Each structure stands twice: as structure tokens, then as C-alpha cells.
Chains A and B, each alone.
Chain A
Amino acid sequence: MEPRPRSFYVLSAFFALFVLFLYGPTLTIAILSFQGEGGGLTFPMRGVSMYWFYDLFEQQAVGDIWGSFRRSIVLGLMVMITTVVVSVMGGLAFRKKFVGSGILFYLIITALVIPSILVSLGVGLLFSQSGLNVHWSTSGFGAQLTWTLPFGLLIMFAVFNRFDKSYEEAARDLGASPWQTIRYVVLPIIAPSLIGVALFGFTLSYDEFARTLLTAGSYNTLPLEIYGMTTNVTSPVLYALGTLTTLFSLLIIGVFLALALLSNRRKARAGSDAGKAV
């Protein structure tokens, strides 16, 4: 290997600082959430304790943290499943031109770039003006889909742009029906990317704030609850909650990444004997 140029070391230092910039603040509040009982929102630490975590599990004066956490998880799962199914169907459909495909594509881009408060305001108005119940599982669910679907679809477009069509042709030549082709050939090949779509679907929903602000109705999701806390809670209990929900997000990301890694490995193993039977 040729020796590293000097720019490599400069850029490495820049990259390290960038990572510190990304993670430093979150780590700081993780440390501060172990603040002693008398401690405040900034350093110095007044002792080390789990006090603020215990405090979280006790009855809060305001709000309903655990209820909102449950709602956020249920909503996240709903959005995740819908995003995966609709994105795959959309991705398959977009491989051919159809009537309105151009308009639909621009609608997807619009959903991606439209200011989130417009979706929140519009969906909220739509439900309240038509007499429907504004609820996190109906209006909130739909409003979040306008954010997760474009990501899912963009991933599917990228996947199908690189998809080798000869696999499908081979399946068809062997007499597979269209459904069999999708079920036994296309889906297994794109499965690892579906894990990515699912990760986007769940985490974007779980953390969404702006789109649920006016569409969640009377029951808050977790980000709304946390935002409410920022205006009236000034103790490290806020950091404890932040640390826990970040840990939860990291856990979810870890699970999805592990799944993706496993499915890639399995694919590599299963594919490794190709041609050996000849």
C-alpha cells in the first residue's frame, strides 16, 4: 500500500471532531442524567445516583410518559408495516411507466420537501372539518406516512434500479406465475433492503414531532410528551427520559442492523454453492 498522504491525518482529525460533535451532546446528557438528587441541568455533578430514573417511574405531576411511550411504539409498528408493504408495492409498480406515474413521482418528492407543519395543519384541519376524530392512530398515522413513505420508496427505487431482471425472466421461463415470481424470487432478493425500509419506517415515526403535533388529538405520542416537558420540567428527569428513549432507539437500530447483517450472511452462504451442481 502506498503511504498515507498528510491530508489523511488532517481529515481523520476532522472526522473525529465531527463524530464528537454528533455524539458529544447526547453523551453529556447521558452522564448528567445520573446527577445526584440535588443536581441541576448543568455540571457540576452533585453526586452520582439513579434518582432521576426512579423519578421517571413514579407518578408524574404532569403528563403520561409511559402511556405516550406505548402509543409511540404501537404507532411506530403500524407505520413500519404500512411503509414496508406500500413501498414494495409502489416500487414494483414504478418499474414500468403507467398513467400518472410522473405525477405520482412528483407527489412523492412533494411529500418529502413539504414543510412538516403544512402536513400537520392540513391533516388536522381535514379531520376536524369533516367531523372525524383527530386521533394518533388515524390522522397521526396518515400524517406520518407522508414522511416515511417517500424514504421507503426512494430506497425501493434504488433497489430496483440495480435489480437484475434476468432472475425474473428465468422464473417466468420455468413456469412461475407472476405472484410466484414475486414471492419466491423478487422478495427474497430484496429482503435485506426491506429491513432498511422497516428501520426508517419505525424510527422516523417513533421520533416524529412536527407531523403529529396537530394530528395526535388528545393523546400524546412520546416526542410530544417530551416537548411538553421541556416547557415545564427543569430537572434532570428530562435528561433521564432523553437517555432512556435514545437507548431504546439505539436498541432498535442495533436489532435492525443485526438482522440486515444476518440476512446478508445467509444470502452469501446460500449463494456460495452456485454452479457447483453442474
Chain B
Amino acid sequence: MVSPLAAVLLLFLVMPIILIVIVSFWRATEFSIIPAFEFENYEFLFGSSVTYKVFYNTFKYALITWAFTLVMGFTVAYYLAFHIRSLTWQVALFLLCTIPFWTSNIIRMISWIPFLGRNGIANSALMSWGVIDEPVEWLLFSDFAVILAFVHLYTLFMVVPIFNTMMRIDKSLIEAARDAGANGAQILWNVIIPLTKPGIMIGTIFVVTLVMGDFITVRFMSGSQSANVGRLISNDIALLQYPSASATAIVLLATVLITIGILLRFVDIRKEL
């Protein structure tokens, strides 16, 4: 029963990772890659100041995106779970939030152009309100645009698990808290948030890994002006420098797995499904 699954994961996940590890010790010339066992790729990677800057950027994007998606995702999930009273409406509004997830990310990135461009809606609106005198340049193709796109694309990954855990909170606990004299804020802080923690952790894992592994959003929304680790890898690939791309990829994978390992200490995923 489980063999097709095991076969797919072995062939398209385990073997590729092993191969990346192997290739990361290879040598590259301008035209080809040559089997070898050298640490040169790693030495170059850790010796370059670009690497540290790019890793710093990656964590920066992940942290800022995480903060925004958490606050927005929690608020939306809280509204759906505790303020909408009929199940039909809850399902309908929940679907309304999830539908964009099943459409193309690239199109959703492109669709920010008319908003953020130099002559875009945001600039025209700000100018007509008299907030600014001339178009702001940093809206599109900037870190601002990158994080906006991340939040736009990935808030959903917070909403779904948080909503899922909130729906399983026993409503009588909240009544009990109210009977015991807790006000709204106290109920939120002392009852709902602790009980929602597993959902928050799962959402966090999704958002952090998606942002850390991204290369296309950063490239597109920053107009190639900023870089994260994913872009470093994809640039090497474009230059056919597979060994150095592989070395960077392995360091990125290790970073992501360590981060996830830390996060998994706070939640038992199997119990939460």
C-alpha cells in the first residue's frame, strides 16, 4: 500500500538531495561539471561576505513576513471562528479566503504592478490626496514590494491552521472564563491564544519555509535589486555553476531544517491533523 509513496519520495526527494550533496563537492569549469571531492565550493561560500548578507536578508524577509502574516492570519481566523455564528457562513467566508491559494502565484505577483508602479494606483491616490508631491519610487521593485507580495501570497497558510485549531476549541471553556469574570482581552490572551498555539506553530512552519526557500518573489518584486539565498542559488544555476549552487542549496536546506526542528519542539504535527 505504501510502496508507491515510498518510491516517489525516494526517487524525487531522497535521491535528488543525495545527488545535490555529492555535486556540492564537485568542480565546475565554464562548460561542464567534473566529479571531484573538494571543499572549495563551501570555502568560497563561507568566505564570501555576500553569503552572510544574503542569509541575513533571507532571515529578515522570513521574520517580517512571519510577523505580518501571524497578526493578519490570527485576526481573520479569530473573526471566522468566534464572530461568525453559522457554520454555512463560516465555510463560505473561509473558502473566500482560500480560493486565491489555488490560483497562480506568478499572476498574483504581476497583479501588483498597476498598484505599485510609478504611475500606479497607490502613487496617483497619494498624490491626489496631497500626501506626496511626486511619485514615490520605492513602492515597486523594493524590499517593501517583496514583503507585501509575501504577505499577500502566504497569509493564507496562517489562516487555515489557526482557524482549524480554533474551531476545535470547546466553546464552554470560553463561557467558563467569562463566568469567572474574565473580560474579552483576558479571554483572548489567557484562553484562546494558548489553545491556538499548535495552529500558530504549523502556520509559522509553512510561512517561514516558504519565504526562506523562495527565489522567484524576491527576484520579481525587487526587480532583481535584492537577493535572498534562493536567488543566489538560481543565479549560480543560470551560470551553470551547479556545484556552487549545490553547496549553497545544502547550507540553505540545513538552515531550514534546523529552524523547523526548533519549531517542531513546540508542536506534535501528527496529533494536530
We find that the number of chain A residues with CB closer than 8 angstroms to chain B is: 89
Residues from chain B with Cβ under 8 Å of A207 in the complex:
102-106
Pick from A14, A125, A199: contact of B102, CB below 8 A. A199
Given contacts A14-B79, A121-B20, A161-B273, contact A90 B2 (CB under 8 A): yes
Smallest beta-carbon distance A230→chain B, Å: 6
Pick from B12, B111, B213: contact of A143, CB below 8 A. B12
Residues from chain B with Cβ under 8 Å of A109 in the complex:
260, 269
CA distance A92 to B4 in the complex (A): 13
Given contacts A15-B79, A43-B114, 19 further A-B contacts (CB under 8 A): A14-B79, A25-B111, A28-B114, A41-B113, A41-B117, A42-B113, A42-B114, A111-B13, A121-B249, A122-B15, A129-B23, A146-B13, A154-B273, A207-B104, A230-B106, A230-B220, A242-B104, A246-B103, A249-B104
Interface membership of B64, Cβ < 8 A? no
Interface membership of B209, Cβ < 8 A? yes
Pick from A4, A32, A86, A158: contact of B4, CB below 8 A. A86
CA distance A116 to B5 in the complex (A): 19
Q: Using CB atoms, name the residue of chain A closest to B98.
A: A253
Smallest beta-carbon distance B19→chain A, Å: 5
Smallest beta-carbon distance B148→chain A, Å: 9
CA distance A86 to B15 in the complex (A): 19
- Check A242–B111 contact: CB distance below 8 A: yes
Pick from B111, B121, B252: contact of A118, CB below 8 A. B252
Contacts across chains A and B counted by CB atoms under 8 Å:
237
- Check A115–B105 contact: CB distance below 8 A: no
Q: Which of B37-45, B46-54, B189-197, B230-238 contacts A (4 or more CB under 8 A)?
A: B230-238
Given contacts A11-B79, A41-B113, A149-B8, contact A123 B107 (CB under 8 A): no
- Check B17–A113 contact: CB distance below 8 A: no
Q: Using CB atoms, name the residue of chain A closest to B220.
A: A230
- Check B121–A43 contact: CB distance below 8 A: yes
Interface membership of B1, Cβ < 8 A? yes
Smallest beta-carbon distance A164→chain B, Å: 16
Interface residues of B in 172-211 (CB under 8 A from A): 184, 205, 209
Given contacts A29-B114, A210-B215, A253-B102, contact A158 B2 (CB under 8 A): no
Interface membership of B163, Cβ < 8 A? no
Of B8, B119, B270, the most chain A CB neighbours within 10 A belong to B8
CA distance A25 to B99 in the complex (A): 14
Of A114, A207, A223, the most chain B CB neighbours within 10 A belong to A114
Interface residues of A in 96-152 (CB under 8 A from B): 98, 100-101, 104-105, 107-119, 121-123, 125-126, 129, 142-143, 145-146, 149
Q: List 22 A-B contacts (CB under 8 A).
A: A15-B76, A25-B111, A26-B100, A29-B110, A32-B114, A41-B114, A43-B120, A89-B1, A89-B2, A104-B6, A107-B13, A110-B257, A113-B257, A115-B230, A118-B16, A119-B13, A119-B16, A129-B19, A207-B104, A239-B110, A242-B104, A249-B103
CA distance A19 to B246 in the complex (A): 40
Q: Is the interface of A mostly helix, strand, loop or mixed?
A: helix
- Check A157–B121 contact: CB distance below 8 A: no
- Check B12–A142 contact: CB distance below 8 A: yes
Interface membership of B59, Cβ < 8 A? no
CA distance A208 to B20 in the complex (A): 22
Interface membership of A275, Cβ < 8 A? no
- Check B256–A157 contact: CB distance below 8 A: no
CA distance A11 to B76 in the complex (A): 8
CA distance A125 to B237 in the complex (A): 11
- Check B106–A223 contact: CB distance below 8 A: yes
Interface membership of B242, Cβ < 8 A? yes
Smallest beta-carbon distance A64→chain B, Å: 17
Pick from A26, A89, A238: contact of B5, CB below 8 A. A89
- Check B99–A104 contact: CB distance below 8 A: no
CA distance A114 to B250 in the complex (A): 11
Smallest beta-carbon distance A207→chain B, Å: 4
Residues from chain B with Cβ under 8 Å of A143 in the complex:
12
Residues from chain A with Cβ under 8 Å of B215 in the complex:
117, 210
Interface membership of A21, Cβ < 8 A? yes
Residues from chain B with Cβ under 8 Å of A223 in the complex:
104, 106
Pick from A5, A43, A161, A253: contact of B184, CB below 8 A. A5
- Check A86–B103 contact: CB distance below 8 A: no
